[in-house]
Each structure stands twice: as structure tokens, then as C-alpha cells.
Amino acid sequence: MSDPTTLRIVIPLAIRKRNGRPKILPPADRAPDMGGVDPHALKAIARAWRWRRQLESGAASTIQDIAAAEKLSDRYVGRLVRLAFLAPQVLERLIIHRMPPALSLAELIALAGPPWTEQIETVAG
């Protein structure tokens, strides 16, 4: 008879929750290699270390100064700066080896409080 007028294209995508939000992921064979770590987590760790250096060097005297300069809330800066106090082994695992944590960014921030041995066990285990 006649040619079909509908063309169906199937793209195998996966929907996963990342940091509480749905994220559409491409097929595994076509996904770019990001090293397994969420780029938002890497950016947050970098910002936390930059802010820590500002506080230690005296470029900023308080978290409120950093928050005003970055146009962010002081509560957000205070939460995020905790990432600068993660155990060195945890940071090495995330940044150098690019091993994805089984934790969200919020859980990583909460993880910065306990002693380093507990942090390592939580991330590695």
C-alpha cells in the first residue's frame, strides 16, 4: 500500500536520581567518561577549598564576608565549606582516583563532621 507516516526512534536512556533530582543518563556505551564522580561534587569541593584558603590567609575574615562576595547565603557557604575538612584519603579517592561515592553531596557535607577514620569507612564501605 503506502509508506508509513510515523517514524519511531528508540533511544535507550536511563533515569537516575542524583542529589534528589532526576537525571537522564545516556546509554552506557555512549556515555562520556566523567570518571564516575559527579561534576557538581567536584566543583563544590573546589569552592570549599578556595574559601578555606581565603579564611586561613586572611583574605576573608568570616563566612559572611565570603557569602557577600559570592552573592550566596552564609548558611550555604557554611555548609559547603565543611567539604574542605574531609579526610585526605576521601579526597584522594574522589578527586585523584575519580571513584564515585555512594553518597550524595548533602551526605558528603554531613560526613565531614565525624573523625577521619569514620569518614574513610563510610566512603570506602
Q: Within a domain: residue 5?
A: no
Per-residue pLDDT tens over the stretch 91-102: 888 888 777 666
Per-residue pLDDT tens over the stretch 40-62: 888 999 999 999 999 999 999 99
The one-letter code for the residue type at 16 is: R
Residue 71's pLDDT is what? 94
Here the CATH number for the domain that contains residue 53 is: 1.10.10
What's the domain count of the chain? 1
Rounded Cα distance between 28 and 33, Å, is: 10
Q: Within a domain: residue 113?
A: yes
Q: Within a domain: residue 67?
A: yes
Domain that holds residue 43: 33-124
DSSP H helices in 22-73: 39-57, 63-70
Lowest mean pLDDT among 94-98, 109-113, 115-119: 94-98
Q: What is the DSSP letter of 36?
A: T
Q: Within a domain: residue 107?
A: yes
Q: Within a domain: residue 110?
A: yes
Any idea of the CA torsion for 80, 120, 93, 70, to the nearest 10 degrees? 10
Q: Within a domain: residue 68?
A: yes
Q: Within a domain: residue 80?
A: yes
Residue 79's pLDDT is what? 93
